[in-house]
Amino acid sequence: MNRVIVITSGKGGVGKTTVTANLGTALASLGRKVALVDADFGLRNLDILLGLEQRIVYTALDVLAGECSLDKALVRDKRVPNLVLLPAAQNRTKEAITPEQMKELVEQLSKQYDYILIDCPAGIEMGFRNAIAPAQEAIIVTTPEMSAVRDADRVVGLMESEQIKTIHLIINRLRPDMIKLNQMISIEDILDLLVIPLLGIVPDDQKIIVSTNRGEPIVLEEQTSLPATAFKNIAARLEGKNLPFLDLMASQDTIINRLKRFLNRF
Amino acid sequence: MTDESSDVEFEAISSAQLDQVKLKQEGNKFIVILPTRVKEHPNHWEELWQELKYHLKHSERTWSTQQVVYLQAEDHLLDTRQLQNLAEVLQEVDLKLISVKTSRRQTAVAAATAGYSVEQINWATSFKEKEEEANIAEPLYLKTTIRSGVEVRHNGTVIILGDVNPGGSIVARGDIIIWGNLRGIAHAGSQGHRESRIFALKMEPTQIRIADIVARVAPPDPEDIQPEIAYLTKEGIAIARALNFEKSHRFAESWGSWDDTPTDIPKTKVETPAKFSILNRVLKSPSNNKDI
């Protein structure tokens, strides 16, 4: 059975596109056939993160206009077989497409792909409504910041009155050092407010910025990193595996801290 | 910037503003009542639509499988497509639309075309029914988290089984009972009923309002979370432990506020004074809301 998942957040800049790119790549690496749909018409980014920008010829709008077949518009990722991108049009706005047309496109894709991940634009206006229209499931991305959590809450509310039944949460850009110092909202507090099941926690890492600029999802990098492991675990959890969450606070467990605790025992 | 805060215009709300979609079981009839709007605005249908879906989804399910629905469309202009959408959303929760009651000719025609039985009422009778609406309505019971952006308005008491998150708000003509954490805004006694109270298992609201008084509340001591009640005293809004509230407080009609001085009960054993239960957590509750 194929799954249509929208990745959304309400607030901008929390990492929806990064999550979409990495999660899609990780799922494809697990052998699944994955289609990524960029619903951010006019401000598309997903192609850049995937390093596929230069290979776009047709966009979703061309398909809808009947100028090319859907298959022709899909950009295949050469590094990961099974992964394709349906690009958004950059020269148009969110109003260029309707929820019904989005449904139509996804309907066609779902015949061939196991997973369809839709990268939702920020906000709760037309672009958001387009992106959620075809989805059965949603992944909410938030960061441990008040404003992001508040917006996530609003979006969860909007989802609940739509046809979307399954909603999961990813907490992105977590900084264990700041949580330790009580400068960031804790995971417990976020879950207490949002009351939706947690799918994964991704630590903040400068490597993400590097990988974004290079156009290579971090999960593809040879040298594995904490965020890459987090994304792979999320993919595995989507596949139904019951993996424990990464102990991100462990990195706070330095030799000096351990020594201090040891000395305190006496 | 000056220290002086601006005046807050804050008035009791009319019952028409409190009107939201209502679901009502009357004998073996299930009635869906659309609110009459004071003013129609462009987004009107979208708003109504969201409200209906919300109430159908989160209200206590009192209806039986495939129960028939009587829609009271009041003065709403509905076209065939909108009626069809309504029927579909009702079908999703196992309800079957069969009859439409309306005061608008256009809606009546659309309903008849779509094959529903139509009852057209004239303005006079619909106005008479509205008069009855002026009375306090039955309590509204919702089992859901009230999330940011949701406003629940009701012409009576509201009971929520779940949290009220920041950005969410409840406006009730009667009391507000929250079996969960109150983090958003709660406004009890919205039409000026000063006896109304707000109850929450955990009280950390953005703001509380009772009748025409507004207050901010300091966060509770995390070590000592207790169910609490917010109520009006002569000095403004106060918060007390919910347990034994009814025994230690009484509403003084003459003051138009709650009296928290202990009533004279013959004492047979040494008691902690009833005053102990008043928590000094209200930050600001001026009687004229000038500086909140």
Q: Is the dihedral of CA A192, A193, A194, A200 positive or negative?
A: negative
Centroid of chain to Cα B205: 16
Distance from CA of A183 to the nearest CA of B (A): 18
Q: Is the pLDDT of residue A36 over 90?
A: yes
Q: Name which of B257, B254, B217 is nearest B236 in CA terms.
A: B257
**Probe site for chain A from B53, B85, B165, B204 (most A CB atoms < 10 A):** B165
Chain A CB within 8 Å of residue B49 CB: no
Tell me how many degrees the CA angle A7-A106-A233 measures, rounded to the nearest 5.
35
Q: How many residues does chain A have?
A: 266
A193 contacts B165? CB cut-off 8 A:
yes
Q: Which of A154, A192, A193 sits opposite B149 (nearest CB)?
A: A154
State how beta strands A3-8 and A115-119 pair: parallel
Q: Does B163 touch chain A (CB under 8 A)?
A: yes
Q: What is the pLDDT of residue A215?
A: 93
Q: In 10 A of CB B166, how many CB atoms? A: 19
Contacts of A156 in chain B (CB under 8 A): 147
pLDDT in tens, chain B (292 residues): 333 333 344 565 666 667 788 888 887 788 898 887 655 666 778 878 888 888 888 887 888 888 889 998 877 888 888 888 888 888 888 888 999 988 888 888 888 888 898 888 776 555 555 555 567 788 999 999 999 999 999 989 999 999 999 999 999 999 999 999 999 999 999 988 999 999 999 999 999 999 999 999 888 888 888 999 999 988 889 999 888 888 888 888 888 888 876 555 555 554 444 444 456 677 765 544 444 4
Residue A153 with chain B: CB contacts under 8 Å: 147-148, 165-167
- Chain A residues touching residue B148 (CB < 8 angstroms): 150-151, 153-154, 157
| Other beta carbons less than 10 A from residue B177's beta carbon | 23
B198 touches B208 (CB < 8 A) = yes
Mean pLDDT on A40-60: 94
Average pLDDT of span A95-120: 94
Helical axes A146-160 vs A187-194, angle rounded to 10°: 30
Query: Within 10 Å of residue B61's Cβ, how many Cβ atoms?
Result: 12
What residues 103-162 of chain B have any CB closer than 8 A to a CB of chain A? 144-145, 147-150
Q: Do B149 and A158 touch (CB under 8 A)?
A: yes
Token readout for B24 is 């009502």
Question: B202 CB near a chain A CB, below 8 Å?
Answer: no
Q: Is the ipTM of this complex over 0.95?
A: no
Give the architecture-level CATH label for domain A3-264: 3-Layer(aba) Sandwich (3.40)
Provide, as residue numbers in chain B, all residues whose Cβ is less than 8 Å from the Cβ of A195.
145, 163
Selected residue with higher pLDDT from A49 and A222: A49
Domain boundaries, chain A: 3-264
Class in CATH terms, B137-284: mainly beta
Min Cα–Cα distance to chain A from B74, Å: 24
Decide if B167 and A195 are in contact by the 8 Å CB cutoff.
Answer: no
Specify the fold of B15-133: Transcription Regulator spoIIAA (3.30.750)
Q: Residue A176: enclosing H or E segment and its boundaries? A: helix A176-180
Q: How far apart are CA B58 and CA B142, in angstroms?
A: 6
Residue A251 banded pLDDT, cuts 50, 70, 90 = low
Mean pLDDT of chain A: 91
Confidence (pLDDT) at B170: 96
Q: Is the Cβ pair A157, B183 closer than 8 Å?
A: no
Q: Can you tell me which residue has the tokens 């930050």?
A: B283
CB contact under 8 A, B148 and A151: yes
Q: Which helix (H) or strand (E) holds B292?
A: none
Nearest Cβ partner for B50 among A151, A161, A193: A161
The pLDDT value recorded for residue B268 is 55
Nearest to residue B216, comparing CAs of B5, B23, B1, B2? B5
In this prediction, residues A16-34 reach a mean pLDDT of: 96
- Please report the residues numbered 205 through 264 in chain B whose beta carbons come closer than 8 angstroms to any beta carbon of chain A: none
Query: How many CB pairs below 8 A link A and B?
Result: 34
pTM: 0.79
Judged by a CB distance cut-off of 8 A, whether residue B192 touches chain A is no
Which residues of chain B lie closer than 8 angstroms to A100, CB-CB? none
Pairing of strands B198-203, B176-182: parallel
Task: List pLDDT tens digits, range A64-77.
Answer: 999 999 999 999 99
How far CA A208 is from CA of A22, A145, A219, A228, in Å, comes to 10, 19, 10, 9
Instruction: Kindly list the domain boundaries of chain B, sorted by start residue.
Output: 15-133, 137-284
pLDDT in tens, A153-210: 999 999 987 878 899 999 999 998 888 887 888 999 999 999 999 999 999 999 999 9
B57 reaches A (C-beta below 8 A):
yes
Residues of B in contact with A157 (CB under 8 A): 147-150, 168
Query: Is A160 touching B (CB cutoff 8 A)?
Result: yes
Helical segments of A115-145, H only? 126-132
Helices B44-58 and B80-92: crossing angle in degrees, nearest 10, is: 20
